[in-house]
Structure 1
Amino acid sequence: MITISKLTKTYETKKGMVTGVDNVSLTINKGEIFGIVGYSGAGKSSLLRCMNLLERPTSGNVTVDGLDLTGLKGERLRQARLKIGMIFQHFYLISQKTVGENVAFALKAARLPKGESIKRVDELLKMVGLSDKKDVYPSQLSGGQKQRVGIARALANNPNVLLCDEATSALDPNTTLSILRLLKKINRELNITIVLITHEMNVVKEICDRMAIMQDGRVIEEGDVYDIFSEPKAELTKEFISSVVSFDVPKPILAACTGSIIKVQFKGAVAGEGVITDTVQHFDVKGNFLHGTIEYIQEKPLGLFLMEIQGDPANINRAITYMEGRGAKVEVIRNGL
């Protein structure tokens, strides 16, 4: 669907040339929600803007639906952009126009007859849950409602791709969740490919199928969201995931533990099984939970536990081997004191 090949974007500044995107190659599949994560300055927004050529890459190619956008100019590029909707962090609604007029404004490029345009606006506002706000002005809307208008506007010309640049960063947690659920609904019902830029792993965890982590203009890790959460490789990826799944236990509690401290991870269906309970029952060891959670990513469970295990070292080793044999990943954080 979207193929980015060896893409580089440089900027000329007072201090010289700065590389915003550095030789990035990515493939985004049709119909998926793809997250691009990174801190400010990582290059993720620059990469997104290169996808619809709001910024023209310094080198490399962007192909959407088999069409190389970097080879297009003028009217051909304008027509290609109609099939790529974009949602912004700060909404960018026209304050002097009503909600309906804001959405209709996006249809002008398609040159629809007035009757068809009115019908399309009504369809879009119904889709985003704002049918009763058609004649209201942006100043009368909440942040979440403004973003819903932005989504309706981005969908006006029946795009195949929706680019979201920090679309939920200005919203509170509950509103963010409602917007993410709306995007997921749109993705599933319309089969629109969504590319979502964010610095929040909770956003990726909630709706994305695959993801990429960016640092200093480069993609340092990419893959299935569930796989990255369960097996992060890059240190920055681990840092991002720790913001969602934390194993911080107060030092006084750890200091009071005399047994071995182990971290246990269960993937998929195994997370719902009583592996730890079975282990304690079958081996002469005692277990003390220090921290535990089951996260649901892509509707699949990921179990993460930190525990103290006490007993004879040989029995502890057998217990760990047993858990690993049942599909758990076990990491010894500290051997018994």
Structure 2
Amino acid sequence: MIKLIDLNKQYVTRSKTVHAVDHVNLHIRKGDIYGIVGYSGAGKSSLLRCINLLERPTSGQVIVNGTDLTKLPKKNLRIARQKIGMIFQHFNLLSSKTAAENVAFNLKAAGVKEPAIPGRVKELLELVGLADKADHYPSQLSGGQKQRVGIARALSNNPDVLLCDEATSALDPKTTESILKLLKEINQKLSLTIVLITHEMEVVKEICNRVAVMENGKIIEEGDTYSIFAAPQQPLTRDFIDKVLQYKLPERLLERSRGVIVNILFRESKAEEAIVSEVLKSCGVTGNILHGKIEYIQDKPMGFFIMELTGPDTEIRKAIEMLTDRTAGVEVLRNVL
């Protein structure tokens, strides 16, 4: 669906050349909800804007539906862009126009004939749950409602691709949840490919089936979302995931412990089984849960328990060996044996 081949974007200033996008290769499949995550300055916004050539790459190829956009003349590029919708962090609505007029504006700009516009506007506002807000101006709408208008506007030309530029960053957590739910519904109903950039791994966890992690203009890690969460390879990726899963235990608990403290990891079906209780019972070891969490990523469970194990030394070692065999792994955080 979307292929980025050796993509580069440089900005030249008086003092230096900034490599905002540095030799990026990505393949985004049709129907993906693809997340691109990174901190500010990582290059993710530049990368996103290269996909529809709002930013023209310094070099490389941007292939969408088999067409290399970088080789199109201006007229053909304008037509191709109509199949790539975009929503923005700060909505970018026309303040002097109502919700319906904001959506209609895009239709008129695309050359849709006047008689067809009202029906299409009504259909789009119903799709995003704003049928009753058609005559409201942006100043009369909440942040979430403004973003819904932005989504309706981006969908006006029946795009194949929807680009989301930090679409939820300006929203509170509850509204973010509702917008992500809407995007997922749109993805499923319209078979739409969604590319979403964010600095929040929580957003990726909730909606994306694949994710790429960016740092200094480069893709440093890429894969399906569950695998990235289950076994992150890069320190930056682990940093993002730690903020979601919160593995760390307060130092005071480690210092006060009189037993062995272990972090037991669970993946997929094993996260829903009574493995720990069975192992501890068979070894005669007591387990005190200090911290634990189960998350569902792409409807598959992932979890961990941080436990203090007490009992005979030999039985604790045996329990750790059995847990290592039957779970996704055991990390010893403190060992007094």
Same fold flag (TM > 0.5): yes
| Mapping 1:282-321, distance limit 5 Å | 282-321=282-321
CA deviations 1:40-98 (Å, max 9, x no partner) are 00000000000000001001101011111111121100000000000000111001111
Aligned to 1:33: 33
Distance in 1, matches of 2:43 and 2:54, equals 15
Which stretch has the larger CA shift, 309-318 or 181-190? Answer: 309-318
Residue 245 of structure 2: SS of its match in structure 1? coil
User: Is the contact made by 1:43 and 1:216 (CA closer than 8 Å) also made in structure 2?
Assistant: yes
1:135-154 maps to which residues of 2 (within 5 A)? 135-154=135-154
How is 1:1-337 mapped onto 2 (pairs within 5 angstroms)?
Answer: 1-336=1-336
The whole-number CA distance in structure 2 between the counterparts of 1:30 and 1:202 is 23
Letter in 2 for 1:181: K
What per-residue deviation string (whole Å, max 9, x for no partner) do you get for residues 160-200 of structure 1? 00000000000000000000000000001111000000000
Contact 1:310 1:336 in 2 (8 A): no
Give the Cα–Cα distance (whole angstroms) in 1 for the partners of residues 200 and 292 of structure 2: 22
The one-letter code matched in structure 2 to 1:191 is S
Distance 1:9 1:114 in 2: 39
Give the residue type in structure 1 aligned to 2:96. Q
Instruction: Give the TM-score normalised by the residue count of structure 1.
Output: 0.98
- In 1, the alpha carbon distance for the partners of 2:85 and 2:119 equals 19
Question: Secondary structure in 2 aligned to 1:308?
Answer: strand
After the TM superposition, which segments of 4 or more aligned residues of structure 1 sit over 3 Å from their partners?
none
Residue aligned with 1:122, SS: helix
The answer to whether the 8 Å contact 1:10/1:20 transfers is yes
Structure 1: 5+ residue stretches without partners: none
Please provide the CA RMSD for this pair.
1.0
326-335 or 112-121: bigger deviation: 326-335
The structural deviation recorded for 1:309 is: 1.2
Q: What is the distance in 1 between the residues matched to 2:296 and 2:247?
A: 17
Residue identity matched to 2:292 = G
Structure 1 position 334, deviation (Å): 2.0
Structure 1, 320-329 or 198-207: larger mean CA deviation: 320-329
Q: Distance in 1 between matches of 2:291 and 2:124?
A: 45
CA contact 1:7–1:60 (8 Å) conserved in 2: yes
The residue type paired with residue 144 of structure 1 is G
Contact in 2 for aligned 1:261/1:309 (Cα 8 Å): yes
Q: Deviations over 1:18-41 (max 9, x none)?
A: 110000001111101000000000
Amino acid at match of 2:317: N
Residue identity in the other structure for 1:170: A
Identity percentage of aligned residues: 59
SS in 2 for 1:30: coil
Tell me which amino acid in the other structure corresponds to 2:281.
Answer: Q
Q: Give the TM-score, by structure 2 length.
A: 0.98
* Paired residue type of 2:46: S
Give deviations 1:260-294, integer Å, cap 9, x for gaps.
11111110111010111001111021111110010
CA deviations 1:219-269 (Å, max 9, x no partner) are 000101111111111000011111111123222221111211111111011
| 2:244 partner SS | coil
With 117-126 and 8-17 compared, the bigger mean Cα shift is at: 8-17
Moved more, 289-298 or 326-335: 326-335
Letter in 1 for 2:101: E
> Is the partner of 1:220 in helix, strand or coil?
strand
Contact 1:280/1:286 (CA < 8 Å) preserved in 2?
A: yes
User: 1-side partners of 2:41 and 2:328: how far apart?
Assistant: 37
Deviations 1:102-145 (A, max 9, x none): 00111123312212111110000000011111111111111000
Query: Where do 5+ consecutive residues of structure 2 fail to align?
Result: none
- In terms of mean alpha carbon deviation, does 254-263 or 156-165 score higher? 254-263
Q: How many residues align?
A: 337
Contact 2:254 2:334 in 1 (8 A): no
